[in-house]
Structure 1
Amino acid sequence: MPLPRIRFRGICKSFTGVRALDDVSFDVAAGAVHALVGENGAGKSTLMRVLSGDLPADQGWIEIDGTPVRFDGPRAAQSAGVGIVHQELSLIGGLSVAENVFLGRWPRGRFGLIDRRRLNADAAGVLARLGADLAPGTLVDDLRIAQRQMVELAKALSLSLRVLVLDEPSAVLTPHELTFLFAIVRSLAAGGASILYISHRLDEVFELSDDVTVLRDGRHISTRRTSDTNRGRLVAECVGRAIGSEYPAPTGRFGDTVLRVDALSCPKRFSGVSFEVRAGEVFALAGLVGSGRSSVGRAIFGALGGTTGHLQVADKVGPFRTPRQAQRAGVAYVPEDRRGEGLLMLRAIRENVTLAHRGDVSRFGLLRRSLERAATWAAMDRTHIRASGIAAAAGTLSGGNQQKVMLARWLMRAYPLIILDEPTRGVDVGAKAEIYRIMDDLRAAGAAILMVSSELPEVIGMADRIGIMCRGRLVSIIDNTDRAASQEVILRLAVGEAAA
């Protein structure tokens, strides 16, 4: 029997009394794509941080190719051929793409100076392998989220690796970029590398992986060949219970028009966008990264300067010039980037939940802690946020719970229009089901929902109508009340082809 590439044996890890990993043991084969799945907080990322030397295990050990290892930091792990691409990006914005790809390994020329020509050439070669259309000299601060993810992947590919850990690598990638990623993963595995692939997207797990391991509440639940299981079984093992239909049943019952957009434009982002959203309706904007889908949502919320055209929410006329003006008109907005734009990661849950409605928990201009606590507990109960308490920092929560904190912020009042940009990015299957339930409750209460999403199964499963963006224009609107829209048709329209 061939020697496993990695052996995890009895791995335990605790944080201030909370058991994040509890006696985790399983093997990873050489030359295999091994998926690691489970809810947020199941221990997946913690286990990978232990593997990559970012955290020490409290108990247990790891073997690589039969040799016990205990890395004292990520640099030592990289030297041993172990690389990781984290879910939360760790790039330096003030440095160029090339400088980030080879951070700490910049080539030197005469007199010990950085050899810029070689640095950029080497980075260009790695980026070409990924199919990433990025100039090596571009500052990371100037890149979109999806482009930054490609830089993180390029960093890993620049190393000679025996083990590559990919933590939610596809969450912000376009279908085109995802195709290149899958080809690279398969090529690395064919060359003998072991790929640990963490994803909440089970379609990817079944398409890409050879083996799959389920973790739940820090414990190992199962490891088996991917071909020996199915979607329903994996979901049940991840959440500890069977989940019914993934998406709520459509009602087909809509009220009056809440949002009317006519010839909305923003220079260099989108042009001539027109559509309407009715009460009780979910209208999805789909398209490739850079198509303008997220920019339309930001413009409606008053977060993009230079917006022109006509915009009306109920009886309030825009375009709105600031988010505060949009909020007063009845618009709620949950952004795509929860870490950069959505949450104050070092502040308490209670502060994050009440952030947009501080006046509701104040009297005579003074914050009333009792009102803040009551409002936060009510919002947490409604959204099923799992936390040690309302004083816990948002940054200590799992991705799914962070997402629900952002949703909870806008549930303190009844908003006619709710804009959700990538509402389930990086969220596990259990938390997804809860977010979909919240969306369905809002729809049933008469809210109009504008959803921006790159996940086509989610778009088709949740949206009553789908608007497809391509190169800054809304090229088509598809009726989806029967939930029968075709992914192929949507993709064809998104890339500028006529639907067959």
Structure 2
Amino acid sequence: MMSEYILEMRNITKLFPGVKALDNVNLKVKKGEIHALVGENGAGKSTLMNVLSGIYPYGTYSGDIAINGEVCKFRDVTDSEKKGIVIIHQELALIPYLSIGENLFLRNERSSHNIISWNKTYRDAAALLKKVNLSENPETLIKDIGVGKQQLVEIAKALAKDVKILILDEPTSALNDEDSDNLLNLLIELQKEGITSILISHKLNEVLKVSNNITVIRDGKTIETFENDENVSEDRIIKGMVGRELTNRFPSRKPKIGEVNFEVKNWTVFHPLIEGRKIIKDVNFKVHKGEIVGISGLMGSGRTELAMSIFGRSYGKHISGEIIKDGNKITVHNVRQAINHGIAYVTEDRKSAGLNLIDDIKSNIPLAKLMKISKRNIVDENKEIHVAEQYRKKLNIKSSSILQKTGNLSGGNQQKVVLSKWIFTDPDILILDEPTRGIDVGAKYEIYKIINDLADEGKSIIFISSELPEILGMCDRVYVFNEGRIVGELSREEASQESIMRCIMQSNREVV
């Protein structure tokens, strides 16, 4: 008799040096359902899916994987794909300088007698793109389409492999609301065709929107599986994830706001490649000591470009305007000058721009100001160890030791290493760009506490986020950013989701 479960993972245990990543985990997924897998960073969700997809092959874990009741022993990804299991990772596996069509059939080429048929490649690609609601020409290069469309290309690539179980690991973490909705709606469409999806996501509103069942994993163990019905709330899921009620998502704080110590005046930035295109348009803002100032706006509004251009002109050209610190105009033509003037920038992209993933925690933390632990340009290893241990304890970085590679840490702990790196420079102004992207609610709360503590020490915090609840929960004042301009300034009392969106919509009408 055919099992009602397309997938059963029984008593899966997976060990890494010094840590038990999975401890007797059980997962049952019904055919044709969208099954959400939730848990804090480091809970073991991605590890479990890597076991399922053959990335961690049979023999490197204990327990059984059964597909339609048949026990499978996958030696690699090719084995799992033969059973219709396809995983889409958080970091997309597309090749930027190949076309959409070439990417869709990589390792799955449309060929005859070992000769690729380009007509068939692009004809089949067009049919797959139509299935995922993309109208792009299949000959378009991947680098020329946005991240939202790239995610849909990844799903089309899975469909080309006759997918039966589609695993999506944080598929919307880098997407705006519109692209996220498109992707979630596509999962529902695929479900109607009988495709089973396993969705890993920290965005609990998305989990509630599309999933049929939810499995919670905590500390490498299965906590519970329950049906998603009208009685299930975000708070109900959070309780399972963190093991307690999280009554307030944002730590309380009594701001101690001092005088203005950072000002940007008439700041204008042009696109680094497209001549004459203005990205930041005559921006003015100020930050007080001990204040957390939010910069809110839609993705693509220019917030990151603003932050990077201020931080040592890391973005843009033909930059004009003034930066004033403690009442004096300062010169900031490069990153080194920015750091020397007490400005720090925590990038939104911790993996490619924030950390050296192949190096350990010890080497990453002092990286932005090695002179503090050096004598005659030679790093003092004892000081390096002391600093790393100090920040590991201070920011509660969960790791086997300071010698653990940062690439092997969970997202939340990677973010704490990035924060440690910049706190070590002892900045007066800290620019945080999407500081909690791809991080679970428990780790977010810890990072919010760190940010509040820095503000209480008198640091000036510029807080950029796409998540309006985060802006409203953390910031003392909010600048609304749209199309490269500041289109509104709101006090904590005035700021609401409605008032922020009203500023954006009003500015759009003015532009029209």
TM-score of the superposed pair, with normalisation by structure 2: 0.89
Of the candidates 370, 391, 394, which is equivalent to residue 382 of structure 1? 394
SS of 1:165's equivalent?
A: strand
What do the CA deviations read for 1:201-256 (whole angstroms, capped 9, x no partner)? 22222222111111111111000012254333322321233334111235455322
Please tell me whether residue 66 in structure 1 is matched to residue 69 in structure 2: yes
Please tell me whether residue 290 in structure 1 is matched to residue 297 in structure 2: no
Please tell me whether residue 230 in structure 1 is matched to residue 233 in structure 2: yes
Aligned to 2:24: 23
Aligned to 2:12: 11
Aligned to 2:121: 119
Aligned to 2:45: 44
Answer yes or no: is the 8 Å Cα contact 2:348–2:433 preserved in 1. yes
SS of 1:171's equivalent?
A: coil
1:83–1:494 CA distance, 2 compared to 1 (3 A)? farther
Aligned to 2:320: 309
Answer yes or no: is the 8 Å Cα contact 1:300–1:319 preserved in 2. no
- Give the Cα–Cα distance (whole angstroms) in 2 for the partners of residues 61 and 265 of structure 1: 59
- Give the Cα–Cα distance (whole angstroms) in 2 for the partners of residues 389 and 461 of structure 1: 33
Please tell me whether residue 34 in structure 1 is matched to residue 35 in structure 2: yes
SS of 2:5's equivalent?
A: coil
What's the offset of the Cα at 1:363?
1.6
Give runs of aligned pairs for residues 78-477 of structure 1, distance below 5 A. Answer: 78-108=81-111, 112-127=114-129, 129-130=131-132, 136-140=138-142, 148-227=150-229, 228-249=231-252, 251=254, 253-268=256-271, 269-302=279-312, 303-315=314-326, 317=329, 320-477=332-489
Q: Which stretch shows the higher mean deviation, 325-334 or 113-122?
A: 113-122
Matched AA of 1:92:
I
- Give the Cα–Cα distance (whole angstroms) in 2 for the partners of residues 197 and 486 of structure 1: 30
- Give the Cα–Cα distance (whole angstroms) in 1 for the partners of residues 180 and 95 of structure 2: 24
SS of 2:317's equivalent?
A: coil
1:90–1:250 CA distance, 2 compared to 1 (3 A)? same
Q: Which stretch shows the higher mean deviation, 137-146 or 58-67?
A: 137-146
Matched AA of 1:24:
V
SS of 1:486's equivalent?
A: helix
Answer yes or no: is the 8 Å Cα contact 2:267–2:320 preserved in 1. yes
Answer yes or no: is the 8 Å Cα contact 2:270–2:316 preserved in 1. no
Q: Which stretch shows the higher mean deviation, 411-420 or 384-393?
A: 411-420
1:24–1:371 CA distance, 2 compared to 1 (3 A)? same
- Give the Cα–Cα distance (whole angstroms) in 1 for the partners of residues 262 and 84 of structure 2: 53
Runs of 5+ in structure 2 lacking a partner?
272-278
Runs of 5+ in structure 1 lacking a partner?
none
What's the offset of the Cα at 1:420?
1.1
What's the offset of the Cα at 1:495?
9.6
1:186–1:279 CA distance, 2 compared to 1 (3 A)? same
Answer yes or no: is the 8 Å Cα contact 1:146–1:289 preserved in 2. no
- Give the Cα–Cα distance (whole angstroms) in 1 for the partners of residues 144 and 158 of structure 2: 21
- Give the Cα–Cα distance (whole angstroms) in 2 for the partners of residues 32 and 441 of structure 1: 44
Task: Report how many aligned residue pairs link the two structures.
Answer: 498
Q: Which stretch shows the higher mean deviation, 402-411 or 191-200?
A: 191-200
What's the offset of the Cα at 1:358?
0.6
1:320–1:139 CA distance, 2 compared to 1 (3 A)? farther
SS of 1:407's equivalent?
A: helix
1:33–1:483 CA distance, 2 compared to 1 (3 A)? farther
- Give the Cα–Cα distance (whole angstroms) in 2 for the partners of residues 226 and 94 of structure 1: 41
- Give the Cα–Cα distance (whole angstroms) in 1 for the partners of residues 53 and 410 of structure 2: 20
Matched AA of 1:453:
S
Matched AA of 1:338:
R
Matched AA of 2:244:
R
- Give the Cα–Cα distance (whole angstroms) in 2 for the partners of residues 233 and 284 of structure 1: 29
Cα RMSD after superposing both structures:
2.8
SS of 1:55's equivalent?
A: coil
- Give the Cα–Cα distance (whole angstroms) in 2 for the partners of residues 95 and 101 of structure 1: 10
What do the CA deviations read for 1:439-475 (whole angstroms, capped 9, x no partner)? 1111112222222222222222222333333333333
Answer yes or no: is the 8 Å Cα contact 1:84–1:165 preserved in 2. yes
- Give the Cα–Cα distance (whole angstroms) in 2 for the partners of residues 404 and 146 of structure 1: 27
Please tell me whether residue 478 in structure 1 is matched to residue 490 in structure 2: yes
Q: Which stretch shows the higher mean deviation, 246-255 or 437-446?
A: 246-255
- Give the Cα–Cα distance (whole angstroms) in 2 for the partners of residues 319 and 208 of structure 1: 51
1:135–1:321 CA distance, 2 compared to 1 (3 A)? farther
- Give the Cα–Cα distance (whole angstroms) in 1 for the partners of residues 245 and 181 of structure 2: 31
